[in-house]
Chains A and B, each alone.
Chain A
Amino acid sequence: MQDLGINVIFEGSNLLRLLIGLWVTMRIAIVAIAISVVFGIAFGIVMTVKNTFVQIVARLYLEAVRIIPILVWLFLFYFGLTKVLHIHLGAEVVSVIVFSLWGIAEMGDIVRGAITSLPAHQRASGRALGLTDLQIYRYIIIPQAVRRLIPAAINLATRMIKTTSLVVLIGVVEVLKVGQQIIEVSILKTPSASFWVYACIFALYFIICYPISLWSKKLELKWQNQ
């Protein structure tokens, strides 16, 4: 039975555990990505404001998120908050908060880049048509910015999905950790378990991520033809 490593996947409730692990990964990633998109757009717009104070604060936030590793943020929010302020946040809640903070910052920077790359006369001609500033954002700036930022945003989203494996360090058991658990239990009896478990996880990730990349390619193509 030495080499029938694939059996490991179907032993007990292993497959179900992997799927549940994947669900945990996706749950954290999806919520964090959704928050990042909504607030990231707002943050990106705020970053385009010509106000030194606002820009410094925004810059500080962005750099803090970039310089300090995600792992440190996870520890800060999960352990640090409790130690200093005695607030207990669940590990998954902390994961969502930290990944959202990261996502908002990065998404904001992407949005800022997309907005500032739009020619100034787009805004001017919107104003000349009597549109309010809100309408200009709604109908002219945001739709065009979104088209420009889709590739970068998809890239950020996939990075976020991949990085969720870090949440295991604050005790959230996501798909990679489940895989690790299965491998370690089987390592003595089935040395090839790791190969099959990772192949399975790869397949699961692929099933999730491939449609996303297909969809983004379709969007890009559609907008190119306009």
Chain B
Amino acid sequence: MKKFLKTVSLILTLLFSLGVLAGCGSEPAKKSAIDQIKERGKLRVAVFSDKPPFGFVDANGKNQGYDVYLAKRLAKDLLGDENKVEFVLVEAASRIEVLEADKVDITLANFTVTPERKEKVDFANPYMKVALGIVSPEGAPITSVDQLKGKKLIVNKGTTAETYFTKNYPDVELLKYDQNTEAFQALKDGRGAALAHDNTLVFAWSRENKGYVTGITKLGELDAIAPAVKKGNTELRDWINTELTKLGEEKFFHKDFEETLKPAYGDSVNPEDVVVEGGAIK
């Protein structure tokens, strides 16, 4: 019996160590990042799959949105075909990890530039800008932050809105939710006096939901949204920057806005408030 057990334990141990050993392959040779992509024939881009209108999957299972539109263009200009792009669907929490672990070449997932993130990834120049907006019921509109004191404000966990209010207005009580769906439902149920989120999103939402207004349209610093590459991949970052400048000349992002954002926002959002052309926020 003992022999049998020893064999079993040996096999198990072997299996585990094989798993570890398999990892001891050598590091891939240093090669130009762009050559590597060309060799592969696919540009791997991390996008959201459930954050319309930036990155989402439509009813036919196709990736769509403002970020996706740009990703396809990058693939076209780099590899000659807009279909030579592989979308890797990410969650907000894994946007940095996918770059660090080389699972993708570029992250295009509504990625706001922050000092903390800059330490982990390299951002190219921005292609979009966003500020906070606050939406509240028409009957009791919130038009200045001072009105929020002593009231409950609905935010999403891990968003700029949460950080901004925690840092600057600690006396505003925050109600935090994981999903957009839950957060907006909470506002409808009257669990909070108002909801703070990216102004683009609250504009779009208040347009669809009668009885709510965006009382504060621009709050906090203007956040830049930019493509990100793996830390140290300056070659790809520089290529993206050149590309952004080139795209600016043809007003590419205005076209992107018309195609992807306008259907969601209607006329409530001025493209100049959102779009960044040529990689420079004016």
> Is A–B contact present in the complex under a CB 8 A cutoff?
yes
Query: Across the interface, do A42 and B8 meet the contact criterion of CB distance under 8 Å?
Result: yes
CB distance from A195 to the nearest CB of B (A): 11
Query: Across the interface, do A79 and B59 meet the contact criterion of CB distance under 8 Å?
Result: no
How far does the alpha carbon of A49 sit from the alpha carbon of B3 in the complex, in Å? 11
Which B residue sits closest to A43, measured CB to CB?
B12
Which B residue sits closest to A133, measured CB to CB?
B1
How far does the alpha carbon of A46 sit from the alpha carbon of B51 in the complex, in Å? 48
Chain B residues with CB below 8 A from A187, complex form: 180-181, 184
Binds A, one of B31-39, B76-84, B100-108, B254-262: B100-108
Within 8 A of B (CB), among A113-152: 133-134, 136
Chain B residues with CB below 8 A from A75, complex form: 94, 97
Interface mask (A168-203 → B, CB under 8 Å = 1, otherwise 0): 111101000110111111011100001000000000
Please tell me which one of the listed residues B50, B91, B93, B204 contacts residue A184 in the complex, with CB atoms under 8 A apart: B50
Query: Across the interface, do B5 and A49 meet the contact criterion of CB distance under 8 Å?
Result: yes
Binds A, one of B19-27, B66-74, B151-159: B19-27
Query: Across the interface, do A82 and B59 meet the contact criterion of CB distance under 8 Å?
Result: no
Query: Across the interface, do A12 and B59 meet the contact criterion of CB distance under 8 Å?
Result: yes
| B166 in contact (CB, < 8 A) | no
Please tell me which one of the listed residues B5, B102, B179, B208 contacts residue A188 in the complex, with CB atoms under 8 A apart: B208
How far does the alpha carbon of A65 sit from the alpha carbon of B118 in the complex, in Å? 33
CB distance from A121 to the nearest CB of B (A): 17
Within 8 A of A (CB), among B4-22: 4-5, 8-9, 11-12, 19, 22
Query: Across the interface, do A49 and B56 meet the contact criterion of CB distance under 8 Å?
Result: no
Interface mask (B54-65 → A, CB under 8 Å = 1, otherwise 0): 001111110000
Chain A residues with CB below 8 A from B56, complex form: 181, 184-185
How far does the alpha carbon of A45 sit from the alpha carbon of B4 in the complex, in Å? 10
Interface mask (A1-40 → B, CB under 8 Å = 1, otherwise 0): 0000000000111101100000000000000000000010
| A162 in contact (CB, < 8 A) | no
| B276 in contact (CB, < 8 A) | no
How far does the alpha carbon of A11 sit from the alpha carbon of B58 in the complex, in Å? 10
Which B residue sits closest to A187, measured CB to CB?
B181
Please tell me which one of the listed residues B1, B5, B57, B103 contacts residue A82 in the complex, with CB atoms under 8 A apart: B103
Which A residue sits closest to B1, measured CB to CB?
A133
Query: Across the interface, do A171 and B12 meet the contact criterion of CB distance under 8 Å?
Result: no
CB distance from B116 to the nearest CB of A (A): 18
Chain B residues with CB below 8 A from A183, complex form: 50, 181
Which A residue sits closest to B102, measured CB to CB?
A82
CB distance from A11 to the nearest CB of B (A): 5
CB distance from A148 to the nearest CB of B (A): 20
| B52 in contact (CB, < 8 A) | yes
| B194 in contact (CB, < 8 A) | no
| A83 in contact (CB, < 8 A) | yes
Query: Across the interface, do A171 and B23 meet the contact criterion of CB distance under 8 Å?
Result: no
The 4 closest A-B pairs by CB, nearest first: A12-B59, A133-B1, A85-B23, A79-B101
Given A45-B8, A171-B90, A184-B56, 11 extra CB contacts under 8 A: A43-B12, A49-B5, A81-B23, A83-B100, A86-B102, A169-B94, A171-B98, A180-B50, A184-B51, A184-B181, A185-B52
Q: Residues of B with Cβ closer than 8 Å to A?
A: 1-2, 4-5, 8-9, 11-12, 19, 22-28, 49-52, 56-61, 88-91, 93-94, 97-98, 100-103, 179-181, 184, 204-205, 208-209, 264
Jot down 28 A-B pairs with beta carbons below 8 A, ordered by A. A12-B61, A13-B60, A16-B61, A42-B11, A46-B8, A49-B9, A75-B97, A78-B103, A79-B94, A79-B97, A79-B100, A82-B103, A83-B100, A86-B25, A88-B103, A136-B1, A169-B91, A171-B88, A171-B89, A171-B90, A171-B103, A173-B49, A181-B49, A181-B56, A185-B52, A185-B58, A188-B205, A188-B264
